[in-house]
Amino acid sequence: MCEASAYIITDGEPKLIMESVDVAVPTDEGELKLINIFGEQRFIKGAIESLSLVDHKIFIRETGAAL
């Protein structure tokens, strides 16, 4: 399986916000649209800080409130 878990970095600590993420797409509004393998969607005010492909993790730097 190739899906990842998404974490938001808050106060220097990663916090899990979504599991089984299949798609992470930036929007024109400066958000990230996350979609998991179950079709659930989440919009996050932030940008990808780093990816750990071996560990299947996406780290997002928060730029505003998570929706």
Residue 67 placed within a domain:
no
**Tally of structural domains, the chain:** 1
- Determine, yes or no, domain membership for 50: yes
* Short-list 22, 19, 20, 17, CA closest to 46: 17
Mean pLDDT (whole number) for 12-28: 96
Nearest-angstrom CA–CA distance, 54 and 67: 28
**Is residue 39 a part of any domain in this protein?**
yes
Q: Which residues contact 41 (CB under 8 A, 6 or more apart)?
A: 33, 34, 35
Q: Looking at the domain assignment, is residue 9 inside a domain? A: yes
Q: What is the pLDDT of residue 1?
A: 66
Q: What is the pTM of this model?
A: 0.88
Sign for the pseudo-dihedral over CA of 10, 43, 52, 62: negative
- Bigger pLDDT: 66 or 18? 18
Q: How many CB atoms lie within 10 A of CB 13?
A: 8
Report yes or no on 55 lying in a domain.
yes
Residue 67: band (very low, low, confident or very high) from pLDDT cuts 50, 70, 90: very low
List the beta bridge partners of residue 57: 5, 52
Instruction: Supply the range of the domain harboring residue 34.
Output: 4-62
pLDDT score of 51 more than 90: yes
